[in-house]
Amino acid sequence: MEPVPVSTGVKKPHCLVDLLSDFTELPEITMNLRPAIMDTSTTISTLPPEVLQEIFLSQQGFISAKIPSSLVAHSCVMSRSCRPFCWMAVAHVSRQWRAIALACPPLWSRFIVSTDPQWTAELLHRSHNAPLSIMLRLSAERMDAQQHSFAMVLNHLSRMEDLHIFRQTHFSLSSTIVSMLSGSAPRLRSFSSCGFLASSDLSEATDIPEILSSENSPRLESLILSGPFNGSRFTGPCASTLKHLKMVTLTKQFCRWPSTPVLLDVLSAAPLLETLIFERRELDATSVSYVHTGMRHATLPRLHALTLASADVEVVAILDHLDLPAIRHFEVSTELTRVTATAFASALQRHFAALGAIHELNIEGASTTRAQSLQLCGSGIDHATPREGAHWRLLTLHLQECHDAMQVAGEICRRLALHEVRSLQVECTLISAPAWAVLLELMHNLSELVVIGTLAAMHLPRALRPGTVSISDAGNASSSSVRDAARRLSLIPLPALHSLRLTRVCMDQRCDDSSGALDSYSQGLCASLRARGEAGAPLQELTLDHCYTGSMNKTTLLALRSAMEELGGRLSETCDGDVI
């Protein structure tokens, strides 16, 4: 017999007061005792120093902000002013607590480099030999003093665990500081550079600090590089240990780094990579050539999250040279201007099989004065979340400059495994009949369909209407009734559909609401509903959301309500979320 789990009843404290108050509420102290004779031998002052230090390190009240890559900064280090319950305030409670706080090096090992060298020296002294987590926000204010403080920090590079540099000014670090970044950092696990490596002249080359070489930082796991990197000798940073890589580059004219071959070289030498974000922001894409030959093929057996944002030619080139057997989150953003919809969908198809079953699919196409855009999002069930109905985003595609957004969506959907889709939402101005046929062809388990757009549902009645069985098949005496029923069911588009919601859809072609006659669209929708009922796949609920104002007459409503009632279903009309 398995043991019965027992709840400990321990709640996670929100602040120091909540946690310390628990020690004053013990039953043996407060139960049936008068305050005058209460035992004081178990008060806070008698807690061991190690326990108090753990309390200091675990309180959210001490932390003012969490910086990416697990770097934590404390308010009193950032601004030299104490907030309620911050750890510096703890050091001023009593002599005992101050001594305990000063004897806890991890309390002083995470900070933002200030413009006060004396304060920086004091923090380094109090942190002793604890691993350092440092952030430098390079600004124009007192830059010389700030760089002096940073130089003091770099003297302790051997115990650096997290280092993050953000440049907020056009001034750069001195050559002395840059040379110090070429030292050995055996503990370094996370490094971020946002703008620091950028040159003020985009035509100049940029060298990646040698701190990122595999010899200097053999434990590096997380790397973030952001800025206009115009040239570099950097080809493989600590490839054997790298797990998370993010690169956001700015390209101008022919200065492109990393090029597609260089990026693939880096990836091919990083077998432990788990997440990859690559964004290329181009100032002048017309002068950039994407023709590459002899590029290396990279296999990333542990990569589960990929984000690509670049020109369509480069995206296709990268995807064609990657094997991602463990991918679980796939996101692509590009302008589809040079690659056809078929070629782009074919490049994506290689990676769709590893994503898993898609249960929710949202397709949104928008038209602007210049071109169309397409956003396609697919989600699957998150088995790691116990909450019922929780979904995990598997696929996200953002496409701009599409000549026919729904045609592109159709090409992509042809290559997706859509048989597990339960919910589909389509938002577009107009969808052609062939596009509807492609979208609905393989969704045999779709139960809920939401259509949004003025003319988006124009061809939907025909797409939902069951096909007809030929006379020869229907008159075949050898076929059983079960086989006939299965054949008829196979001819029904979306046989599991039970809920249809139309939002902001034009239901009538007539302007005269008092005409008292059904137009061809309403007639076709009613006919399709009845045909589905006769074929054994009746619709249970039809919802019209903002579909009647100024366009749909009473005759249309009565006809649709009558058709739904004949099938045992219901018609709902909503306006601003209220059911009418």
Among 324, 321, 380, residue whose Cα is nearest residue 351: 324
Average pLDDT of 452-472? Answer: 75
Amino acid (1-letter code) at residue 116 = D
Position 476 scores a pLDDT of: 43
The model's pTM is 0.78
Task: For residue 66, name the pLDDT band (cuts at 50, 70, 90).
Answer: very low
Average pLDDT, the chain: 75
Q: 175-179, 205-209, 416-420: which range is least confident on average? A: 205-209
428, two tokens: 């577009």
Average pLDDT of 225-248? Answer: 72
Decide if pLDDT at 550 tops 80: no
Decide if pLDDT at 308 tops 60: yes
Decide if pLDDT at 287 tops 60: no
Strands 190-194 and 132-138, bridge-based pairing: unpaired
Task: For residue 545, name the pLDDT band (cuts at 50, 70, 90).
Answer: confident
Burial 490-500 (b: 16+ CB within 10 A, else e): eebbbbebebb
Highest mean pLDDT (candidates 88-92, 122-126, 249-253): 122-126
Contacts 24+ apart (CB under 8 A), 17-24: 17/85, 19/55, 19/59, 20/44, 20/55, 23/47
Comparison of pLDDT for 395 and 180, the residue scoring more: 395
Q: What percent of the chain is modeled with pLDDT above 90?
A: 23
Task: For residue 484, name the pLDDT band (cuts at 50, 70, 90).
Answer: low
Tell me how far CA of residue 450 lies from CA of 26, 100, 360, 481, in angstroms. 56, 61, 11, 34
Decide if pLDDT at 464 tops 50: yes
Task: For residue 183, name the pLDDT band (cuts at 50, 70, 90).
Answer: confident
Task: For residue 376, name the pLDDT band (cuts at 50, 70, 90).
Answer: very high
Decide if pLDDT at 551 tops 80: no
Position 316 scores a pLDDT of: 93
How far is 380 from 364, CA to CA, in rounded Å? 18
Comparison of pLDDT for 22 and 353, the residue scoring more: 353
Average pLDDT of 478-484? Answer: 49
Decide if pLDDT at 512 tops 50: no
How far is 360 from 354, CA to CA, in rounded Å? 17
Position 43 scores a pLDDT of: 66
Among 423, 430, 440, 374, residue whose Cα is nearest residue 401: 374
Q: 134-138, 195-199, 300-304, 435-439: which range is least confident on average? A: 195-199
Q: What percent of the chain is modeled with pLDDT above 70?
A: 67
Position 96 scores a pLDDT of: 80
Task: For residue 236, name the pLDDT band (cuts at 50, 70, 90).
Answer: low
With beta carbons less than 8 A apart as the criterion, state whether 179 and 209 touch: no
Decide if pLDDT at 260 tops 70: yes
How far is 161 from 131, CA to CA, in rounded Å? 6
Position 197 scores a pLDDT of: 54
Taking every pair of Cα atoms in the chain, the longest distance, rounded to a whole number of angstroms, is 100
Position 136 scores a pLDDT of: 86
User: What's the length of the chain?
Assistant: 580
Amino acid (1-letter code) at residue 541 = E
Task: For residue 509, name the pLDDT band (cuts at 50, 70, 90).
Answer: low
Q: 263-272, 406-415, 513-522: which range is least confident on average? A: 513-522
Task: For residue 326, name the pLDDT band (cuts at 50, 70, 90).
Answer: very high
Average pLDDT of 46-72? Answer: 58
